Amino acid sequence: MLITLPDVLNAQELAHCRQLLQQAEWEDGARTAGYIAQQSKQNLQLGLESPLAQQLGEVILGALAQNQAFIAAALPAKILPPRFNRYENSGHYGNHIDNAIFVAPGTKQRIRSDVSCTLFFSEPDEYEGGELSIEDTYGVQRVKLPAGHMVVYPGNSLHHVTPVTRGVRIASFFWVQSMVRHAHQRSILWELDQSIQELAMQTDDASKLARLSGVYHNLVREWAEV
């Protein structure tokens, strides 16, 4: 299930983050890649202990805590601190699947990567190439979103970033350990949640809404790990 979330950051937050990222000190992204991924990863990243990355990450996490669509899509239990990358000069990242387990920097906390997230900071017309290509049930989905928009998709998806042939592509990426481990179960819950939201705008029949909401919460109770 691939879900795009518009305007995760408001205009003020986005402008602030973009300004700071233009002044960032970047390092070789291959440092954080595994042995196999190093062969196909050509980009720049902020260091895992970078104070700027931590500052910007707090802005993102604060916004996500208020974003009901993100919460419904990911059902987050733990979120790995956001990371930041930069692609330019034909930078790319070949086909790969993300690590199953990450350790939060500076801690011993392990986080399972059930859900992958990419938040775009560059506008689509500021660079050429740089599509996030994700293989899912319906084939390859190519994602290139406006700045401030985010895509979430299953962490076990094969995906790659195409070469950036003009301009600069800057984004944040991170992973979520969901309360509901399996992607097909999260997909069912997402569709049910969206249907309930739509029905709530079309009817004032509280009993129908209560029954559907009860089904939703009983499924969460059945599937969730907390």
Tell whether the model's pLDDT for residue 32 goes beyond 80.
Answer: no
Tell whether the model's pLDDT for residue 101 goes beyond 80.
Answer: yes
- pLDDT band, very low/low/confident/very high, at 156 (cuts 50, 70, 90): very high
- Of 79, 149, 153, the closest CA to residue 120 belongs to 149
| pLDDT value, residue 208 | 83
Asked whether the beta carbons of 146 and 18 are under 8 A apart, the reply is no
pLDDT tens digits for range 109-119: 999 999 999 99
- Beta bridge partners of residue 115, listed in sequence order: 154, 176
Q: Which helix (H) or strand (E) holds 11?
A: helix 11-22
Q: What whole-number distance in Å separates Cα of residue 190 and Cα of residue 216? A: 9
The two tokens of residue 127 are 């660079």
| pLDDT value, residue 22 | 92
Give 165's DSSP letter. Answer: E
| pLDDT value, residue 30 | 78
* Binding site feature residues: 96, 98, 159, 169
As a whole number, mean pLDDT of residues 103-130 equals 96
Contacts of 56 (CB under 8 A, 6+ apart): 17, 20, 21, 82, 84, 172
Give CA 71 to chain center in angstroms: 12
pLDDT tens digits for range 165-209: 999 999 999 999 999 999 999 999 999 999 999 998 888 778 889
| pLDDT value, residue 137 | 81
| pLDDT value, residue 34 | 58
* Binding site feature residues for 2-oxoglutarate: 169
pLDDT tens digits for range 49-73: 999 999 999 999 999 999 999 999 9
Q: Please name each of the domains of the chain with its CATH number.
A: 3-178 (2.60.120.620), 183-223 (4.10.860.20)
* Binding site feature residues for Fe cation: 96, 98, 159
- pLDDT band, very low/low/confident/very high, at 138 (cuts 50, 70, 90): confident
- Of 34, 36, 50, the closest CA to residue 82 belongs to 50
Q: What whole-number distance in Å separates Cα of residue 226 and Cα of residue 215? A: 19
The tally of CA atoms less than 13 A away on the side-chain side of residue 19 is 6
Q: What whole-number distance in Å separates Cα of residue 146 and Cα of residue 159? A: 19
